[in-house]
Amino acid sequence: SQELEQSPQSLIVQEGKNLTINCTSSKTLYGLYWYKQKYGEGLIFLMMLQKGGEEKSHEKITAKLDEKKQQSSLHITASQPSHAGIYLCGADRWNTDKLIFGTGTRLQVFP
Amino acid sequence: EAGVAQSPRYKIIEKRQSVAFWCNPISGHATLYWYQQILGQGPKLLIQFQNNGVVDDSQLPKDRFSAERLKGVDSTLKIQPAKLEDSAVYLCASSLGQGAVYEQYFGPGTRLTVT
């Protein structure tokens, strides 16, 4: 089984709608990372969360890490076509920079 | 600042053939990673270098995969011989150092198709 579970696997939303992607681990995380990947391209770093209850925002994207540091959510407000892509969560469980990744959530935004 | 460069971007080979990928990390980045990303999955770490030394290669199939970073800068990843299940995107990433506080910067990847 995957160590990091992402849900949903895919998401299709209309432009302007809000959406949430979840990332869940069965074990406590030292760090949780969110990346975005467009088809045929590498991963683009979005945010890193380390403290329980931490929340970070960048433009219209907000990420939270729960108090137990086992679940994170990524929330996009007023989605745009430019938000389309695959969102990957990565976790650092052993306080090293060895990341394990979830399977990703494919987001499509239509006008 | 130039990003992580990878070449080739695409490669199609037949099974049992050999293939090599090249990565040039961001200047000054001591740590370099190779990941394998199979379609529909997240990236999986194959090998991690710190300068020209291997830090972690526990998930590298050493019977067919090899990687080197001789001068602590560029790196090559080789597969010999390739199998159908090696079809994937191979991503190279680099960071200033080891540790969770150092962000990893990814290259565009090399998409390998084994037929």
pLDDT in tens, chain B (115 residues): 689 999 999 999 999 999 999 999 999 999 999 999 999 889 999 999 999 899 989 999 999 999 999 888 999 999 999 999 999 999 999 998 876 667 889 999 999 999 9
SS3 state of residue B48: strand
The dihedral over CA atoms of B12, B14, B15, B21, expressed in degrees to the nearest 10, equals -40
Q: Give me the residues paired with residue A71 across strands.
A: A24
Chains A and B form CB pairs within 8 A to the count of: 64
Closest CA to A81 of A110, A38, A107, A58: A110
Instruction: Return the pLDDT at B100.
Output: 62
Chain A neighbors of B111, CB-CB under 8 A: 40
Instruction: Return the pLDDT at A93.
Output: 65
Chain A neighbors of B109, CB-CB under 8 A: 40-42
Tokens of B53: 């030394």
Half-sphere exposure of A102 (CA within 13 A, CB side): 30
* Residue where the block lists tokens 């467009």: A38
What mean pLDDT is predicted for residues A46-65? 93
Q: Is B47 within 8 Å of B57 (Cβ atoms)?
A: yes
Instruction: Return the pLDDT at A12.
Output: 97
B101 contacts: CB under 8 Å, gap ≥ 6:
none
Chain B neighbors of A103, CB-CB under 8 A: 40-42
| CB-based contact A42 B106, cutoff 8 Å | yes
Query: Measured between CB atoms, which of A43, A97, A104 is closest to B100?
Result: A97
